[in-house]
Structure 1
Amino acid sequence: MSTRRSRSRNPTVSRISDDQINDLVSKLQQLLPEIRTRRSDKVSSSKVLQETCNYIRNLHREVDDLSERLSELLENSDSNQASIIRSLLMQELI
């Protein structure tokens, strides 16, 4: 028996409706700068999901780049400057 069939027969499995999926895709579309700036409001769900994945990958790259730059900055700073930078970062995390 396939997983799909077993899920559909199991009443305890929570199912998400097509309307809920469409609503979530619409919310994602509003968050994506690449799609939000386009003039056409009609974008397929698969395109929105694809762009979401691309956007998240780009954000990960940016975080990695910024982390690397920060590490270099801390390595090249004197101990007082590095201490100040670390304390500022800790304040942002709290």
Structure 2
Amino acid sequence: MPRFQQPHLTTPTLSIKSTRLESPHEHQQNLLLSRIITNVEKLNEAVVVMNKSLQEINIQNMNVELVAQMFKNYQSNVLFHLEATDNLKPPS
């Protein structure tokens, strides 16, 4: 008995790409956002450099402040000594 063979049926495959609808301004907004991010990163780097500079300035100012305090104490001691020895005279 002849055997009946069913024809090989192929179902057509549909290629459906998941396309999402982009707003007309999305590309421009993404470019702007990218520029903003880049500029913020550069700003952050500049702030880090500025903070390091300010730390160095503060260290140097500590030395100036120390000398100013030493001079103030010296001036106070001289004034006390001149008053104690009755040698304080008005400026001429």
Task: Quickly name the TM-score band, shorter chain normalised.
Answer: 0.3 to 0.5
Larger Rg computed on CA atoms: 2
Question: Structure 2-normalised TM-score?
Answer: 0.39
What TM-score comes out, normalization by structure 1 length? 0.38
Which has the higher relative contact order, 1 or 2, with Cα contacts under 8 A spaced 6 or more apart? 1
